[in-house]
Amino acid sequence: MVNLKLDFDAGIRALTKEANIDQGSTAIFVLAAARVLGGALSRVRVIANDTVITRKDNGSHSPRVTFMAGNATIEAARRLCAIAWWRAPRLLAKLQSG
């Protein structure tokens, strides 16, 4: 449902196949990712329903999209945070030795 990517400029890109049906799901992507990762709302960019970079999905077209999108974003942000905490010391050590 959502894929978070850390951009080269330390921004977060949220890729989703969910359509925005004016239920607040796009806002939830931004709010949840920024809250979990501790970043500014302006650092989160949402790319929604772009079939060039996301899979086609018939999805859910009701208010539960917001609930599902929020939970998926929180889980993705937690995973991204865990990966970053695991990788950062190794990358810094490599840069210092190289």
CB 45 within 8 A of CB 11: yes
Quick: pLDDT tens for 30-39. Answer: 889 999 988 8
CB 15 within 8 A of CB 5: yes
Higher pLDDT, 16 or 35: 35
Domain holding 53, by residue range, is 2-97
Quick: pLDDT tens for 83-97. Answer: 888 887 877 777 777
CATH number at residue 83: 3.30.365.10
Written as six digits, the tokens of 42 are 């302006």
- Give the contacts of 37 (CB within 8 A, at least 6 positions apart): 12, 77, 80, 81
The residues that bridge with 46 in the sheet, in sequence order, are 14
CB 2 within 8 A of CB 48: no
Q: What are phi and psi of 15, to 5 degrees?
A: -100, 130
Residue from 79, 84, 77 nearest 35 by CA: 77
Whether the pLDDT of residue 18 is over 60: the answer is: yes
